Structure 1
Amino acid sequence: MSTQPVVLITGALTGIGRATALAYARDKASVVVAGRRDEAGRALADELRALGAQAEYIRADVSKEDDVRALVERAIERFGRIDIAVNSAGVEGEAGPVTEQTPERYAAVFDANVLGTLLAMKHELRAMTAQGSGSIVNVSSTMGSRGAPNAALYVASKHAVEGLTKSAALEAAPFGVRVNAVAPGPIQTAMLDRFMPDPARKAAALAGVPLKRAGNPEEIADAIRFVGSEASFMTGEILRVNGGRTAA
């Protein structure tokens, strides 16, 4: 069994999830990365091992409970426990006004962002409460606490993630398990480029950030590591990392 912290990361193959996996690997943690693209997943696991970490890739669709159950079980079979879980799997959905949204669009966003977070926490918490320790970090968004035109489904899903986080934290606290969320502002990832494909619109949005730029995934990974590994008296909280976007 590894003597290093065991970290499970969903949505680990791109963006914030990938940056977080690399950050923990540099700390020599044991890292389990989950996603749906096997070639990319195996390549990431190799990259993590090259940094000196023990690492495994496990294929999982977080909207499917059998996948999530198997993910947690296999992680524990491999490393004996899960100390930190980072739930970063999510999608942005299709932009558009409320009047154009459909049940299918709703399901696509909520299955990934809300149901996926719920199922991940369900099985992570079962393992962590049994072992009497653990830390869960969900990935929310600046949009988890405010509205945005033409993004109602994404906004609503991240509000739900924050509600799930706070409720789970209250349930888990008596067992010595912490549950928090990190809520990034605009971060330079493929998701941001998909959400704002127009360079002029993107520039205008970033001009509204007090620090006058997008964040990078590594900066959010640092926040996740702080919340997940170091902030031992912090639970039920949302750490907003957005360049000052919500200060006013």
Structure 2
Amino acid sequence: MNTLDGKVALVTGGAGGIGAAIARRFASGGARVVIADVDPTGETIAREIGGAFVRTDVARRADNTAAVRTATERFGGLDIAVLNAGIGGQGGFVEDFRPEHYRDLVSVNLDGVVYGMHAALEVFTEQGSGAILATSSLAGVSESPINPLYAATKHAVIGLVRSVAPTVADRGVTVNALCPTFIDTAILGEAIPYITDLGVAVLPPERVAEVAELVLVRGGTGEAWPVVPHGEPGPFAFPELPSIMTDPNRQFAEDDS
């Protein structure tokens, strides 16, 4: 039996793009999938793959709880939570700062992961097993001067994943992040031709779905997996903490200031 066969998976933002690709791949591997999205197109995809749809605004804690409940009531449990719903950043930070857009970014890209993770963990910690995949971005492990607020939310997702993972590892739960490069989705919109003109690859969402399944098969926990066009997929190598953080006896030298 493969990793997905007989499993129940919840995919937020599953009505299109990366989420839809993951939902289809998981269903083709034998999983029963619940698509959670504000977009009613998700209902069509759910019918296509023999899954279920629940209208979900991930920025609302109650909606995330209801999505998890739909999975457990419809399919008898939950094994995998893919917290994928997200929106893109527009504009910079200085001249064109828009507080309302900043709040939207935080509500969907961060609150949606926080609430989704918390709702899934209520089930996973009780049953002693489960896997959480949160969609971050390469902008979550590097600087992004053209979209600093978007990058901030994606850095926060990785910080959450790495910090929660060790607290639930002994309960049989894994928590990992996907970090895609540019993906051909609605978030990029009209920017795709400009990106490709720069010689930068824009990958199909199916590539993210492929890596998502690979993380379930080979991943550990607390990891961030880049999705890039080259090389064998694997977790990002985070640097070790500076010695000042780990050595309580270290004294400040004059050149530390």
Shorter-chain TM range is 0.7 to 0.9
> 1:243 matched to which residue of 2?
229
- In the TM superposition, 1:185-224 aligns within 5 A as 185-194=181-190, 196=191, 199=193, 201-205=194-198, 207=199, 209=200, 213-224=201-212
SS class of match (1:100) = coil
| Separation (CA, whole Å) in 1 of partners of 2:181 and 2:146 | 17
> 1:52 matched to which residue of 2?
none
| Deviation for aligned residue 1:244 | 4.9
Unaligned runs of 5+ in 2: 238-257
What are the superposed Cα offsets for residues 27-86 of structure 1, whole Å, 9 maximum, x if unpaired? Answer: 121111110122x1221111112xxxxx10011100001111111112111122111111
| Deviation for aligned residue 1:95 | 2.1
> 1:41 matched to which residue of 2?
42
> 1:15 matched to which residue of 2?
17
8 A contact 2:93–2:149 mirrored in 1: no
- 4+ aligned runs moved over 3 Å, structure 1: 244-247
8 A contact 1:98–1:150 mirrored in 2: no
| Separation (CA, whole Å) in 1 of partners of 2:62 and 2:185 | 29
> 2:30 matched to which residue of 1?
28
8 A contact 2:196–2:202 mirrored in 1: no
Which among 208, 213, 219 is matched to residue 225 of structure 1?
A: 213
| Separation (CA, whole Å) in 1 of partners of 2:18 and 2:100 | 26
> 2:136 matched to which residue of 1?
140
- Alignment partner of 1:153 is 2:149: yes
Which among 88, 108, 121 is matched to residue 84 of structure 2?
A: 88
| Separation (CA, whole Å) in 2 of partners of 1:77 and 1:154 | 35
One-letter code aligned to 1:33: I
Cα RMSD over matched residues?
1.9
- Alignment partner of 1:60 is 2:56: yes
One-letter code aligned to 1:47: E
SS class of match (1:18) = helix
Count of residues in Structure 1 that have an aligned counterpart in Structure 2: 229
One-letter code aligned to 1:217: P
What are the superposed Cα offsets for residues 177-196 of structure 1, whole Å, 9 maximum, x if unpaired? Answer: 000011000111121225x2
| Separation (CA, whole Å) in 2 of partners of 1:11 and 1:42 | 12
- In the TM superposition, 1:119-138 aligns within 5 A as 119-138=115-134
In our comparison, the structure showing a higher alpha carbon Rg is: 2
SS class of match (1:101) = coil
| Separation (CA, whole Å) in 2 of partners of 1:64 and 1:74 | 16
8 A contact 2:137–2:181 mirrored in 1: yes
- Percent identity over paired residues: 38
| Separation (CA, whole Å) in 2 of partners of 1:145 and 1:171 | 22
SS class of match (2:86) = coil
Q: TM-score, normalised by structure 1?
A: 0.87
> 1:107 matched to which residue of 2?
103
Which has the larger helix fraction? 1
> 2:8 matched to which residue of 1?
6
8 A contact 1:7–1:86 mirrored in 2: yes
| Separation (CA, whole Å) in 2 of partners of 1:141 and 1:178 | 19
One-letter code aligned to 1:44: I
8 A contact 2:22–2:212 mirrored in 1: yes
